[in-house]
Structure 1
């Protein structure tokens, strides 16, 4: 299932996050306890996995502001597994540029990239 999901993604390496288009949306699907314990990627919007499709459906009445179906949406979890499946599901909603972060938050952090203190409340 994971291999099939990833086959349709143009996954983003941690070092390429800074080169994403200006209008990209970086989405942290990790639970609050992980964000508090490990920190957050600056500029990421926390949306817990359970409400992800509801909040990012481009045709949905409960979607968040600031994105369109043409926006590059990069989802990340702790290690890059759940985010691959989530990105696949977002593509099914019509977000053709949805993808995920290779190796997730941990890969980003371990690459020495900027991390801030965590605890931002997720979009509900």
Structure 2
């Protein structure tokens, strides 16, 4: 975490210093540093995904549900990252559209899980 914080602070100070003279370069610097931090964390994310899949396998949970939940989490993180980049560029309206697209995609992926949940609840309710 100290490495990430160090990169972020150095990038922030450099971007602030450069921003007055070369705002486009400052934005690119922030974009590359943010992408670098994101790529630095990919290994950690892979470890987390492996642990979740292992736990799901041990609990005999349908892998389709786990894959769907992992996709939902991925969409949320990617949408947030993209929206923050858009906000950094001063494009708040684009950031809002990215966030909306992420929410719609998450909802579309969640429908089968919600359907299975409702069906399970219905089967548990005793019929007269």
What TM-score do you get using the length of structure 2 for normalisation?
A: 0.21
The structure carrying a bigger helix percent of its residues is: 2
More strand by share: 1
For CA contacts below 8 A with separation 6 or more, give which structure has more relative contact order: 1
Larger radius of gyration: 2
